[in-house]
Amino acid sequence: MKDNKKEVLIELKNLNKYFKIGKEKTLKAVDNINLNIYRGETFGLVGESGCGKTTCGRTIINLYQPTSGQVIYNGIDTKGLKGKELKKFRKSAQMIFQDPYASLDPKMTIGDIIEEGIRVHFKDLSEKEIRDRVTVLLKTVGLNAEHSARFPRELSGGQRQRIGIARALAIEPDFIVCDEPISALDVSIQAQIVNLLIDLQKKKNLTYLFISHDLSMIKHISNRIGVMYLGSLVEVSPSESLYKNPMHPYTQALISSIPIPDPNVNSADRIKLEGEIPSPIDAPEGCKFSTRCRYAKDICKKERPILKEVEPEHFVACHMFDKMKEK
């Protein structure tokens, strides 16, 4: 998936992240993913709970070491980075976690939480310069200086998530993994956080990996979207193209499930997935979606499809993708 007009910031090559379950079983959380993320874009990653979205994000920023394959960041393979090179990478790639309360140390004040990364990566700053930077960061995320002395328990969910954003921004990263940053928030707050992220991206030329199961929101914020199923990418496309012309049957079912606030819309027209949901520990030999797919043929049960470009910038992993057009 190459585009000479765009600068590749992150390249995933045959990326795998497996976890041992007991002595004999293996959970393939991320299974042979190949993907480019371009500088300055928001790449949305969507799929059902447990499909491997968060594990993929954590592997990209080196919180998990890949089982095999490569994460190439700005031309450098991140596997095995040590010392100054690892510190430089951690400064450049940050994460906003899903649960804003669990990700903040309850014993630390907000000021201490934001200062922590600054003290590690900007050791030449004076105490005043550090405090001034914290104040600027708080204002950047819509809070004020007085929040610096408070503890996480004294803040609302939306305010805590803003602190998580400020902490990620504190060390001036280029890339941020946003791991379902709005799923734990009230609907009235979700739009505020998403608009804040969009505004910060424009001002600071940030690159996002935005992980979510909210199909409407991910369409709003993403330039391109990848759809995951049981650890594998089944479709990658520009946002508008994916919603107008989904080619994988799983993507079609996901988009069909988006609630439409219109009583005249017939719910019977929605695509209903049937069949057995495979275990991620014992996935089918061929296409992982074959047990739930209405188009599945013998080849789907025997041979694993690979991600292919079937239209400009639109990739799909499906033996029967041409049938998807006959909706």
Question: pTM of the entire structure?
Answer: 0.91
Q: Specify the long-range contacts of residues 104-108, CB closer than 8 Å, at least 24 apart.
A: 104/152, 104/160, 104/163, 104/164, 105/152, 106/151, 106/152, 106/153, 107/151, 108/151
What span, in angstroms and rounded, lies between the C-alpha atoms of 327 and 320? 13
Q: What is the pLDDT along the chain (327 residues), one digit of tens a residue?
A: 444 478 999 999 999 999 998 888 999 999 999 999 999 999 999 998 889 999 999 999 999 999 999 999 999 999 889 999 999 999 999 999 988 888 899 999 999 999 999 999 999 999 999 999 999 999 999 999 999 999 999 999 889 999 999 999 999 999 999 999 888 778 888 888 899 999 999 999 999 999 998 888 888 899 999 999 999 999 999 999 999 999 999 999 898 887 666 666 555 567 878 777 888 888 888 999 999 988 889 999 999 999 999 999 999 999 987 665 554
Distance of alpha carbon 61 from alpha carbon 2, whole angstroms: 21
CB 31 within 8 A of CB 230: yes
